[in-house]
Amino acid sequence: MTAADLVELDPAGSAWSALVAEAPEATAFHHPAWGQVLADAYGFRSTVLAMTDAGGRVRAGAALARVRRLRRAAWVSLPFADHCPALALDPASRDRFATGLAAWGASAGAPIEVRGGIPVMPAWPGAAIAVQHVLALDGDPAAQRARIHATHRKRIRQAERSGLAVRLGRSHEDVADFYRLHVATRRRQGVPVQPRAFFEAVWRHVIGPGLGIVALAAPLGGRPVAGAVVLAWNGTAIAKFQASDEAAWRLRPNHLVYWTVIRWAADHGHRRFDFGRTDAGQDGLLQWKAGWGAEAIPLRYSRTEGPAAAGAGGGGPLAAAMRHVIRRSPDVVCRGLGALLYRYAA
């Protein structure tokens, strides 16, 4: 298959929507709303490249956004998505589409990075760069809770007795309360934070319209001390962002937040709860996610030219120096670095 055999589709059009509706692996990152977030916050242009059959039906496709890297532009499926695979109706269509997509990237003069869902072949060197934890959801709360590790169940009970309550919402105020916690958490970790404009776009296009929820745990009459932003669509809920105040950890607010959103997802008909990407070396986080009964799945990224990008929070001496600076600087430094770096590490 050649590049000329592919067609470009509107991410909000009916042709792409028809494939997404048939593909069980499609998530909120395949929804047109995520492309609108990328456009509003960073000016990234999104499109869909697809393969159709003789009758015009889309057999396979991938949503892509053109991003600016420090050395050259690239096409990514999709920025700030841990897992956004190419979609196909069958394995043969996926293989043919992968060949055509690689040819399209060569003709466009820019590498393509697909975060999952591309077969391993010479045109698509790939590697498992991290782990994704996915929990199968159960409509029976007691059965779901019984599959959680005993330590997690104990800490959920501690949180329930501590006087904390979790509110679920979609308001602008909910996102603002979460962002305050998020900035403090990223600063504590020494990691740049996405700018406020990004979270405003997430609220405007994703959370506000009902493609997710914000969960916030707070003591009675107090400010939130932990929270999560969950994207939810097409049977999959994704814990995209998490944050907490370390001064309240003794109350186990993170456990209560996660148990609440897991139950919310199951109650609203979702089949899977995705805990997101965990990089190598994050042993404590790997253990924490596994404790919920989630399956650890290798997260494979494929790129037509060279290794996949590590992202803004990668390792090495530069990242170590950045963590040192951020932890000892005011919040504005964490936010400023994020506004600069995430544009080139999407």
Contacts for 151 with CB less than 8 Å, ≥ 6 apart: 291
Q: What is the CATH number of the domain that holds 60?
A: 3.40.630.30
pLDDT tens digits, one per residue of 72-109: 889 999 999 999 999 999 999 999 999 999 999 998 88
Residue 288 lies in a domain: no
- Choosing from 129, 147, 173, the residue where a domain stops is 129
Whether residues 10 and 35 share a domain: the answer is: yes
Please tell me the total count of domains within the chain.
Answer: 2
Write the CB contacts of 213 (distance below 8 Å, at least 6 apart in sequence): 168, 169, 170, 207, 229, 230, 232, 261, 264
| pLDDT value at residue 312 | 44
Contact 9, 47 (CB under 8 A): yes
Q: Are residues 104 and 164 in the same domain?
A: no
Q: What 3-state class would DSSP assign to 213? A: strand
Contacts of residue 292, defined as CB under 8 A and 6 or more positions apart, other chains included, come to: 133, 135, 148, 149, 152, 258, 262, 275
Sequence letter at residue 321: A
- Report the 10 Å Cβ neighbour count for 318: 9
Q: What is the pLDDT of residue 324?
A: 62
Whether 284 maps to a domain, the answer reads no
Residue 285 in any domain: the answer is no
Structure tokens at 77: 């499926």
168 shares a domain with 148 = yes
Residue 230: inside a domain: yes
Is 26 a member of any domain? yes
Q: Which residue has the higher pLDDT, 328 or 268?
A: 268
- The verdict on 159 and 81 lying in the same domain is no
- Give me the phi and psi of 138, to 5 degrees please: -125, 135
Report the pLDDT value the prediction gives residue 320, as an integer from 0 to 100: 74
Q: Is 305 part of any domain?
A: no
**Partners of 124 in the β-ladder:** 121
Q: Where are the beta strands (DSSP E) in the chain?
A: 7-9, 45-52, 58-68, 73-77, 87-88, 112-114, 126-136, 164-169, 212-219, 226-233, 236-244, 272-279, 295-303
pLDDT at 268 over 60: yes
- Listed residues 129, 154, 179: the one ending a domain: 129
Q: Both 78 and 181 in a single domain?
A: no
pLDDT at 3: 66
pLDDT of residue 78: 95
**Higher pLDDT, residue 342 or 27:** 27
The set of residues, in sequence order, having a beta carbon less than 8 Å from that of 85 and lying 6+ positions away, is: 25, 62, 77, 114, 115, 116, 117, 118
Residue 52 has pLDDT above 90, yes or no: yes
Residue 154 lies in a domain: yes
Q: Which domain range does residue 204 map to?
A: 138-270+313-344
- Of 111, 129, 147, the domain-final residue: 129
Q: Which residue has the higher pLDDT, 68 or 135?
A: 135
The predicted-structure confidence for 155-204, as pLDDT tens digits, reads as follows: 999 999 999 999 999 999 999 999 999 999 999 988 888 999 999 999 99
Residue 303 lies in a domain: no
**Mean pLDDT estimate for the chain:** 91
Q: Tell me how long the chain is.
A: 346
Q: In terms of domains, do 327 and 223 share one?
A: yes
* Contact between residue 324 and residue 188 where contact means Cβ atoms under 8 Å apart: no
My answer on whether 179 and 56 are in the same domain is: no
Q: Is the pLDDT of residue 214 over 50?
A: yes
Of 82, 90, 84, 83, nearest to 64 by C-alpha is 84
pTM equals 0.92
